[in-house]
Amino acid sequence: MLTALIDDIGRRKAELDSLRPLSAAAFAQLQKYYDVELTYTSNAIEGNTLTLRETAEVIEHGITVGGKSLRDHLEAVDHYEAVQWMRDLASRGEPIGEGVACELHRRIVARSQSAIAGVYSNLPRRIAGSPVVFPNPAKIPQLMQRFGAWLESSPPEPGSAFEAHFRLTAIHPFGDGNGRTARLLMNLLLIRDGYPPIAVRPEQRKAYLDALEHGSLTEDLQPFQIFMHERLDATLSDYLSAFRQALPPGGG
């Protein structure tokens, strides 16, 4: 199943590449739409109560939403700005290692939880309702150093981006924001290698978390790799449709 997915992804990416480049204006419009979606979905998975439209209003117009917490608003602004930094970094082709993971986290919680921004936790971390046990906090610096070295040498393919996501969540180095950081790191690697970023939607939360938990408990990453490759395949299909619609008459 995974092999078939990888083949399908290769075909879709080749087709997407054949439609590039779009006009700057059309590409900017599409990118903004997807970046707001990335922010909404990643925050929603972690309990943020802003809807997609409310997230867009906060980001694009600075409008506060009645009845929603200040933290929900700050998380939207933080994440969107982290996405912009991530895209800029991906375009520069610079090495991606431990420092980048920490900087992504710092930006993701810069306003909402500034006290822990980019700082490794010195406390035990647990997820309510999950049997997964994370490494002792004393081991985090060494584990992250090893993770950074692996990141710098990992092959440029989607499977590596998904494994980077898994490895970071398995270490769980930060007091909060680990999932958002892992998803943004994954997307940084995907964009750097010419793929579109992936949004894991709130309705997919259970399947996504179950696959992560299964990998942590059994060291079997196959379900997680399949889940994420399916998301990439679906995202490529969405991008192809959007690109075709954005082409000028007679284009392509």
* 170 labeled binding residue: no
The residue from 73, 79, 105, 172 that is catalytic is 172
* 180 labeled binding residue: yes
Residue 183 near residue 129, CB atoms below 8 Å = no
* 183 labeled binding residue: yes
Catalytic residue flag (residue 172): yes
* 182 labeled binding residue: yes
Distances (CA, A) of 199 to 36, 62, 138, 194, 229: 10, 23, 32, 16, 12
Surface-to-core class of residue 74, CB atoms within 10 Å of its CB (0-12 exposed, 13-18 middle, 19+ buried): middle
- Report how far residue 177's alpha carbon sits from residue 218's, in angstroms, rounded to the nearest whole number: 24
> How distant is the alpha carbon of residue 97 from its chain centre?
16
DSSP 89-128: HHHHT---SHHHHHHHHHHHTTTTSGGGTT-B--S----T
* 8 labeled binding residue: no
* 181 labeled binding residue: yes
* 167 labeled binding residue: no
- Report how far residue 151's alpha carbon sits from residue 163's, in angstroms, rounded to the nearest whole number: 10
Q: Which residues are known catalytic residues?
A: 172
Binding residues for ATP: 176-183
Binding residues: 176-183
